Structure 1
Amino acid sequence: MSGRQTSFLAQALQQGAGALRSRQFDLAERIAGDILKSNRTDRNAVLILAHALVGQDRAGEAIAPLERIARRSDDGEVETLLGALLCKSGRAADGIAQLRRTIARRPPYLPSFQELAGQLSKAGQLGEAISVIESGLALVPESVDLKVDLGRLLHESNEFAKALEVLTIARDAAPGRPDVLIELGRVLILSGDYTAAADAFRHVLAQRPDDGSVRAYLATCLLEQGERDAGEAALRAVMRGGPHLLGRAAFVMAASSHGRFFFDMSEATKFLGGKST
């Protein structure tokens, strides 16, 4: 390939990636398709095409081009996306088999462990999903991403003490990471440590002040600590995020041992500062 062709290809790939980022999936598909007309096995173009097709709910069409790339080389990213799309397209057995082959490759490609665990979890195989993440951590024990996934899966399987241990280690390794703090806070609520949970959620809100879901978790902590005024103020702040959050706010208020319950949802809306319909 000449220098001019290489430059043109790089520019086209950059445009395709930009179209994906701006969610112009049809444009990204066209750009990737033009590249693939001259080279059916251009890895980067195939990845752009696959993500563009997924964005248009046409995941099944991405399988064949991904399979072509996967047959040519050991590419963890391609194989992981292929496995995910096989599962998404109703071929879960094939997708899980592909992901099992990918996690066996070395060096390990960590997203493949996460994808396989996620698919197993969806299938109700929580124990096996946990084992997959643990096998990844045995290879890369410093991975905070895998620790968060393990904590989340342990939470789902009601192993709260183990989840708390894992997520505390993850928090200490990556202070301030919102995903770690949110998952840790959720487990702390279930463990009854509302003070520590509130602290975790406050740290997240310092970075993401408009996150209504996290503010609702903070409200839960405040109400359970008996700080009714502060908790209800937090729920009013949640409501300012939009009327679609009324259900979440009303549930938090009603479920708390120090909350309030309204038989009439319009009264709950009025109390929380929303507009009654």
Structure 2
Amino acid sequence: MAHCCAGGRATDGIAQLRRTAARRPPYLRSFQELAGQFAKAGQHDEAISTVEAGLALAPDSVDLKLDLGRLLHDTNDFARAARVLTAARDAAPGRLDVLNQLGRVLVLHGDYAAAADAFRRVLAQYPDDRSTRAYLATSLFEQGERDAAEAALRSVIRGQPQLLGRAAFVMAAGSRGRFVFAQRDAARFLGGEAG
């Protein structure tokens, strides 16, 4: 976030960011900073409107589309977030931050196959990203691919026993996952250390 908004001077900072965003040619970072300040203040509609104003001036900005997708995700507008993030992905298919955010939204939107595809593309570049692998497991469980999901969770906790809670949550939270009563049982099932 912009330093102008730190130290209790948020109102002055927002006013300065509004002036910067109004300049032409547009400085897109000012739209992002202003939207971030609105979101931080809980003014999500203002944040969304700010990013949309930036996109009206720079409709090809992948960064603004990503920011809009995140804001829409935060406000539970998953269908619209999925559309915006899909457009961002199509414009920049190699952007892993876009793919990761798109996958997270698609899980919540119920498009598990597309979510799994997005997560696999991220993992192709960063195979040790355990958080993304846990999201992949969620997508796989929801598609009924239990063996693949459990294998993904086993790799999440391999060498990282502190992630057992996350893995157990993924197993229990899905509509097609597994429920384990004790952490020791979850650890044994996933091949981690039994506590």
TM-score, normalised relative to structure 1: 0.67
CA distance in 1, matches of 2:167, 2:6: 33
Contact kept in structure 2, 1:212 and 1:241, CA below 8 Å: no
Deviations 1:54-113, CA, capped at 9 Å, x for gaps: xxxxxxxxxxxxxxxxxxxxxxxxxxx6xx224332322222222212212222221221
Q: How does 1:46-195 map to 2 (within 5 A)?
A: 84-195=2-113
How far the C-alpha of 1:183 sits from its partner, in A, is 1.3
Which has the greater radius of gyration?
A: 1
The total of aligned residue pairs comes to 195
Cα deviations by residue, 1:158-197 (Å, 9 ceiling, x for unpaired): 2222111111111111112111111111121122111111
Local SS of the residue matching 1:111: helix
The answer to whether structure 1 residue 263 and structure 2 residue 185 are counterparts is no
Matches of 2:61 and 2:163, distance apart in 1: 34
> Structure 2: which 5+ runs fail to align?
none
| Greater CA drift, 214-223 or 246-255 | 246-255
Q: Which moved more, 1:113-122 or 1:101-110?
A: 101-110
When the two chains are superposed, the root-mean-square deviation of aligned CA atoms in Å is: 1.5
Contact 1:117 1:130 in 2 (8 A): yes
Distance (whole Å) between structure 2 residues aligned to residue 153 and residue 242 of structure 1? 31
User: Aligned equivalents of 1:100 and 1:255: distance in 2?
Assistant: 42
What percentage of residue pairs aligned between the two structures are identical? Answer: 72
Report the Cα distance in structure 2 between the residues aligned to 1:107 and 1:259, rounded to whole angstroms. 51
Flag the 1:267–1:135 CA change in 2: closer, same or farther, 3 A. Answer: same
* TM-score normalised by L of structure 2: 0.93
On the 8 A contact 1:176/1:204 being kept in 2, the answer is: no
Cα distance in structure 2, aligned partners of 1:276 and 1:89: 47
Question: Deviation at 1:263?
Answer: 2.1
1:234 aligns with 2:152: yes
**Matches of 2:133 and 2:6 in 1, distance apart?**
33
* Aligned equivalent of 1:222: 140
Moved over 3 A (4+): none
Q: RCO greater where, 1 or 2, for CA within 8 Å and sep 6 or more?
A: 2
Task: Give unpaired runs (5+ residues) of structure 1.
Answer: 1-80
Secondary structure of the 1:175 match is coil
Amino acid at match of 1:91: R
